[in-house]
Structure formats: C-alpha cells, structure tokens
C-alpha cells in the first residue's frame, strides 16, 4: 500500500527527472532548476509555517546567507562542502532566531524574522563589503548540470523528510502545536523545542538552496541575495497551493513558477502585482488552496458527512 | 568627530517621526490584530503623491497632508470593507486571523511596491522644500526637519488626546486592554475596528507626506520604516501607545549617534542587536509589569 501509493511514484518521477539533462534541450533543464528551487523553498516554508502556524518571513535572510557562505568558500573547499556549509550556517542562524523568539507566543517571531532580512542585508553591505552599496562578488559559475542534480538531490531529501514527518509522531506533535499550542503543551508536548527544531530543519533547506542557487549566476551582491521576493514568492506559492498539506505547496510552486517563466522576464512588476493579488484572493476566498478545490471536486459530498460524524 | 548638540537635536527630530509611525502601527495591531507589514508601503505611496502634488501643482507639502490623510483614511475603510471584514468572517479563531491578516498585509506590501514601480519607474525622486538652516544655540537645524518634527508631534499628541479625551477614544482603549470585556459593555466591535484601521492608515498618509520632505522617495523606501516601527513597538510594549511614544526617542537615541559616528548601516545593525536584546531581556516591553 505505502510502496504502491507513495514510494513507487516518487522513485519514478525522480528517475525521469534525473534523465532530463540527457534527453531534453537545455532550456527545460534551466526551467526545472528554477522550479526545483521554488519547490524546495515553498515546501521548507510549509513544513514550519504551514503546520505550526507561526509565519516566518526569514526566507530571504537564510537564502542569502547560504548563498554568500557558499560563494566565499568555493575557492578553497571541495564541492559539496560549500553547499553543506551554507546550509549549516543558515541552520545556525535559524537556531539563534528560533531560540530567541519562538519561546514567546504571538507575533514576536514574525516581527523578528522580518527584521532579520534587513539585518542580514545591512550586515553584508556595510560590514562585509564596506560602505559601497553596490559591491558584490564575481562568481566562477558551476556547470548547469551540476546545479541541476544538486537541487534535485535536495528536493528528493526534503520530499522524503516531509512525507516521513507528516506520518511520524513528531509531525503529529507539530500539527497539534499548530492547532492549539496550549492544549499541545498540556498533553506533554514541549512546544518551544519542536518549534525550534522544525524551524532549524526548514532553515537548513533554505540555506542549502541559497548556497546552490547562488552559483548559477555570475555575480552576487547583498541587494539581490537578500531580496524580499525570496520570502514573498514561496509564501504565495504555498498559500495558492494550500498550506498545511503535503501536495499543496508543490502544486502551488509548479503553477506559479510557470507563470513566472511567462511573465517575470518581460513584465517583472506586473508579475509581482499578480502574485500579490493572487495571495489576497486565495486568503479571502479559497483558503484551502488549489488542493482544496481539487479535493472538493473529487469528493464533493464528503465534507458535510465528516462534519456530522466527527467525534 | 565628537557628539555635540546637533546630534542631540537630530535624535529629538527623528524621534518625533518614529513615534508617529509607531503609535499608528501599534494602535492598528492592538485593535485590529492586523500586523501591518505594509505600513511603510502605505507611507511610500503617500510620499509619492506628495511629491507629485508639489512638483506638478507646486502644492505645499504641509497642505497635502490634508489630501493624503483623507485619502488614506478612505483607503483604510475600503480595505476593511473588502479584505478585513471577509477575513474576520472566514477565520474565527484569533490566532488564525492574525496569521492570515499578516499574510494579507504582506500581499499589500508587494502590490503597492509593484504599483509604485510600474507607475513611477526611474531613479528615486526628491524635492526641495524649506531646505535652509535655522541657527539654534551652537548649531543649525534644517528648517524642513524642524517642521516635520512639529507636525509629527502635533499629530501624535492630537491622537493621544483623542484616545484619552473622547468617548470613542476611551472605547478604543477599552478594546485594546480587554476586547471581550469591552464588547460586554456594549462597545460596538465592527465600527471601532474599521475606524481604528482607517485611523492607522491616515497616520501613514500623514507620515508619508512628512518623510517625503526629508528622504529620497523610491518604491523600496518603506520597509526600513516598518522595521524601525516594529522595534519601537516591541520596546514600548505591544498595545501600549504611550510606550511607543517614549521608545521612539530611545531608538532614535541609539540610532542617530551610531549612524553619525560610523555610518547609517552600522547604526541600524546596532539597532537590530538591541532589538534581539529586548526580546531576550524584556519581551513584554518597557512599561509593562
């Protein structure tokens, strides 16, 4: 049952994706690389914020930090190490932020996670690069296939981990915190501990993705590395797809990455305008996301039944 | 360089504008439970409006406060009617509503930034108004900074008087300290809710007009204001309007001297470190308990 429904499809999909660089033109590989990046960022946002309900706005900080660490260390470290170091640094920052703010209930975490992006930007532009605001680093770009396979590997890991998480008792603990933190604590769940752990887990993937993605482009500077869009896009993708579910964020990321591919180069600001409007529309009218629409089409009569039979 | 009277004067002047922003944001959050991360963007739109009114029709920026204030108030009512009312109905649990209204505000942040970039591309804009010095003891004060300070402080004080003195203001404070209790006393929730949100945006309009006299206007000018206001809010205590007023001057007192001695980037870095310290030592804010 589990093999047929979960493991087999995943193995097949990833095998197919692994063959893409050999079979399709380079354009598709580039597109899929971007898609993998967005799926990882969206799923990593969802495993923390989607399940616990604590809204994290720290993605752009963690992404940029991972990117800079990997760019700084590639000259003297062999290859997977800069990526891992980038992920580890972001995890450490995530740990500090979580420790500092997740013991407090309410919006302190969100406020601080918003500030940390600007803090990281200021730190890199004024301490690392001195006063000049436009300073950055030139990068010896890595081969596209290497980036593709690295992100594919990270994607596989995060998908396996998030499936395992949902089905494990740890996942249940986290969802319990998201539904009612006080009750979860009453039945003996150490809420602060689990919130920090999951936030660190999420941060590792954001850092890793930043570390790998930074090596795609010729040049990196604080302005692009810490752009708030790295926070905004995954959140919108998760909300559009449906938060707190496994498939929802993936569907949202795929759909919006296609829209981005069509719009972002030609009319970037219309793309962001559209994203903002989509975010509002889904928050207001389609709170279950696309996954909710799909489910209500597939099981139209199930809802009222489950309401009445709930114990 | 030494710290002299001019730095002290700058602290006071900057504190005035911070307190206006923080008071408004604090009121908006504690009454409507909407953490408005797009606050700086609402300011930015009004800064642009003030800039264009001045450049095209040479309208005095201080007069355009009337326009931006009214317009923002109306916009606040509109956002309440179209967005917040619906969100309140869909997400009945307070925590869920707080999460979703914050995300909606994040959506507004991007919508407003995109609109500004589409409508007004090109380099940051600024204009000169009252750009001369007034000598004061051993230092000179920029006239526009002084005027901005006076108007910001007036707006803050009028607002505090409104909260202290009028019946509506008292009802608002009652709602801030105990929502359910206030509703039991017969205070009408929805009416005050809409009013509080609209008043918050009105202050954003006024603040936007005022900062347009001092800073370069660009689509990304807003977020630093929002973060500074967040830090002030947490230091003064969430829901504590008077706390925000005082905390704004403390924050300016930390930022201005360090920005003056080193550079603005280091100034804001030290501010963020200070922010982290508050969260460790006194997350409930200065004035509470």
- Indicate whether B86 belongs to any domain: yes
> Read out DSSP for B11-54?
HHHHHHHHHHHHHHHHHHHHHH----TTHHHHHHHHHHHHHHHH
Please give the structure tokens belonging to residue B260: 């003056």
User: What per-residue confidence (pLDDT) applies to A306?
Assistant: 44
Q: Would B235 be classed as within a structural domain?
A: no
State how far the Cα of A308 lies from the Cα of A302, in Å rounded to an integer: 10
Read off the pLDDT of each residue in A155-183 and give the average, rounded to a whole number.
89
**CB contact A243 to B (< 8 Å):** no
Residue B239 lies in a domain: no
Is residue A259 over pLDDT 60? yes
Q: What interface predicted TM-score (ipTM) does this complex get? A: 0.89
In a domain, B146, yes or no: yes
Q: How far is CA B270 from CA A122, A132, B231, B274, in A?
A: 10, 19, 12, 6
Range of the domain at B85: 19-227
pLDDT of the residue at A278: 95
A35 near A183, Cβ under 8 Å?
no
Mutation choice for B interface testing from A103, A275, A284, A285 by most B CBs within 10 A: A284
B244 half-sphere exposure, CB direction, 13 A CA radius: 29
The mean predicted confidence, pLDDT, of chain A is: 88
B107 within a domain of the structure (yes/no): yes
Residue A217 has a pLDDT of: 85
All residues at 6 or more sequence positions from A298 whose CB lies less than 8 Å from its CB, including other chains: none
Closest CA to A269 of A302, A234, A297, A229: A229
Residue in B272, B193, B174, B190 with CA at minimum distance from that of residue B232: B272
Tell me, what's the pLDDT at B9?
85
Minimal Cα distance from A243: which residue of B? B100
**A134 pLDDT above the threshold of 70:** no
Alpha helices in chain A (DSSP H): 2, 8-23, 26-45, 51-52, 59-73, 80-101, 108-122, 144-167, 169-179, 181-186, 191-213, 222-225, 229-241, 247-263, 268-285, 289-298, 302-309
* Token pair belonging to A199: 């936030």
Higher pLDDT, A112 or B105: B105
Residue B237 domain-assigned (yes or no): no
Tell me, yes or no, whether B30 lies in a domain: yes
Q: How many residues does chain A have?
A: 311
For the purposes of burial, counting CB atoms within 10 Å of the CB of B19, is it exposed (0-12), middle (13-18) or buried (19 or more)? buried
Q: Are strands A219-220 and B133-136 parallel, antiparallel or unpaired?
A: unpaired
Question: Which of B279, B281, B284 is best to mutate for the A interface (most A CBs within 10 A)?
Answer: B279
- Enter the DSSP assignment of B141: E
CB A269 within 8 A of CB A70: no
Look at residue B287 and tell me if it is in a domain: no
Nearest CA in chain B to A278: B107
Counting the structural domains of chain B, the total is 1
| Digit-coded pLDDT (tens) for B169-219 | 888 888 777 777 777 777 777 888 899 899 999 999 999 999 998 889 999
**Do the chains contact at A53 and B265, CB–CB below 8 Å?**
no
Query: Reduced to 3 DSSP states, what percent helix, strand and coil does chain B have, rounded to the nearest 5?
Result: 75, 5, 20
């Amino acid at each position: 049952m589990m093999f047929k429904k979960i493991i087999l499809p995943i193995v097949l999909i990833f095998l197919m994706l692994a063959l893409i660089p050999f079979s399709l033109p380079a354009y598709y590989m580039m597109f899929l690389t971007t898609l993998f990046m967005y799926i990882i960022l969206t799923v990593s946002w969802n495993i923390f914020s989607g399940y616990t309900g604590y809204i994290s706005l720290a993605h752009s900080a963690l992404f940029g930090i991972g990117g800079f660490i990997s760019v700084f260390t590639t000259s003297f470290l062999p290859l997977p190490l800069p990526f891992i170091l980038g992920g580890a640094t972001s995890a450490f920052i995530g740990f500090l932020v979580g420790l500092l703010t997740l013991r407090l209930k309410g919006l302190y975490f969100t406020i601080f996670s918003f500030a940390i992006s600007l803090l990281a930007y200021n730190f890199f532009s004024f301490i690392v690069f001195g006063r000049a605001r436009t300073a950055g680093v030139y990068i010896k770009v890595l081969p596209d296939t290497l980036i593709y396979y690295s992100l594919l590997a990270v994607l596989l890991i995060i998908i396996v981990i998030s499936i395992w998480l949902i089905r494990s008792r740890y996942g249940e603990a986290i969802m319990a915190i998201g539904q009612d933190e006080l009750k979860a604590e009453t039945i003996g769940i150490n809420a602060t501990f689990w919130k920090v752990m999951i936030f660190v887990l999420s941060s590792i993937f954001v850092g890793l993705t930043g570390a790998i993605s930074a090596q795609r482009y010729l040049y990196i500077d604080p302005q692009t590395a810490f752009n708030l869009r790295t926070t905004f896009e995954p959140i919108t993708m998760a909300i559009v797809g449906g938060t707190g579910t496994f498939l929802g964020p993936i569907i949202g990321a795929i759909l919006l990455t296609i829209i981005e591919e069509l719009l972002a180069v030609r009319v970037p600001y219309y793309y962001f305008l559209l994203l903002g409007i989509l975010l509002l529309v889904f928050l207001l009218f389609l709170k279950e996301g696309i996954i909710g629409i799909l489910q209500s089409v597939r099981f139209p009569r199930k809802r009222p039944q489950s309401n009445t039979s709930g114990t | 360089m030494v710290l002299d009277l001019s730095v002290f004067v700058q602290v006071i002047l900057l504190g005035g504008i911070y307190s206006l922003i923080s008071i408004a944001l604090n009121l908006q959050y504690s009454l409507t439970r909407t953490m408005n991360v797009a606050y700086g963007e609402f300011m930015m739109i009004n800064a642009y409006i003030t800039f264009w009114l001045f450049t095209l029709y040479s309208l005095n920026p201080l007069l355009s406060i009337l326009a931006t204030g009214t317009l923002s108030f109306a916009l606040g009512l509109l956002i309440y009617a179209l967005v917040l009312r619906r969100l309140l109905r869909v997400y009945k649990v307070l925590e869920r509503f707080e999460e979703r209204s914050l995300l909606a505000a994040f959506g507004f942040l991007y919508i407003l930034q995109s609109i500004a970039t589409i409508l007004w591309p090109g380099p940051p804009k600024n204009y000169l108004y009252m750009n001369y010095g007034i000598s004061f003891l051993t230092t000179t004060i920029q006239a526009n900074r002084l005027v901005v300070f006076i108007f910001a402080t007036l707006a803050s004080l009028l607002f505090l008087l409104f909260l202290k003195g009028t019946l509506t203001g008292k009802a608002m404070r009652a709602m801030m300290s105990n929502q359910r209790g206030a509703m039991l006393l017969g205070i009408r929730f929805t009416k005050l809710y809409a009013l509080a949100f609209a008043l918050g945006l009105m202050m954003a309009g006024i603040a936007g007009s005022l900062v347009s006299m001092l800073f370069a206007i660009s689509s990304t000018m807003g977020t630093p204001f929002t973060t500074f206001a967040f830090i002030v809010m947490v230091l003064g205590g969430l829901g504590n309007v008077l706390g925000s007023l005082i905390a704004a001057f403390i924050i300016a007192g930390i930022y201005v001297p360090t920005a003056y001695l080193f550079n603005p980037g280091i100034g804001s870095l030290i501010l963020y470190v200070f922010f982290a310290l508050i969260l460790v030592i006194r997350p409930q804010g200065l004035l509470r308990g």
